[in-house]
Amino acid sequence: MNDLKSTPLVLSRKYISQEKQTGFHVKKVNANWSKRTKKVGITGKYGIRYGSSLRRQCKKLEVQQHSRYDCSFCGKKAVKREATGIWKCKACNKTIAGGAYSVSTAAAATIRSTIRRLRELVEA
């Protein structure tokens, strides 16, 4: 009897009856479903090809590339990648030139600090 309650068919009947009672669509959350990927994440599309270390490096870059970043103009987390090195804020519609996989690179941070230091020397 206990096994009957956990079968997918009974679970689907339960959700259908909830939908009829409330009139709203009930979203099934992990009803006997397994997670798709545990380690590979976005690089699961490559399957077994290219080797694990290359896929790990690729995962790091692709996660960086597809994530949202904070806008330096409006402060919202709305900056997304448009093309290689071109980033656009969806909130304030500003376009930023940055790195290929992230908005700012280590080299850009070094140059910014050098320019700031030189500007302070000239002003002083």
CATH code (residue 83)? 2.20.25.30
Q: Are residues 123 and 83 in the same domain?
A: yes
- The answer to whether the Cα torsion of 14, 15, 19, 24 is positive or negative is positive
Full domain range(s) for residue 51: 39-66
Q: What is the mean pLDDT of residues 11-32?
A: 63
Residues sharing a CB contact under 8 Å with residue 96, sequence separation 6 or more, in sequence order: 72, 79, 86, 87, 88, 89, 103
pTM: 0.64
In which band, very low, low, confident or very high, does the pLDDT at 36 lie, cut at 50, 70 and 90?
Answer: confident
Statement to judge: residues 115 and 78 lie in one domain? yes
Residues 48 and 97 in one domain: no
How do residues 4-13 score in pLDDT, each as one tens digit? 555 555 555 6
Same structural domain, 75 and 120 = yes
Report pLDDT for 3. 52
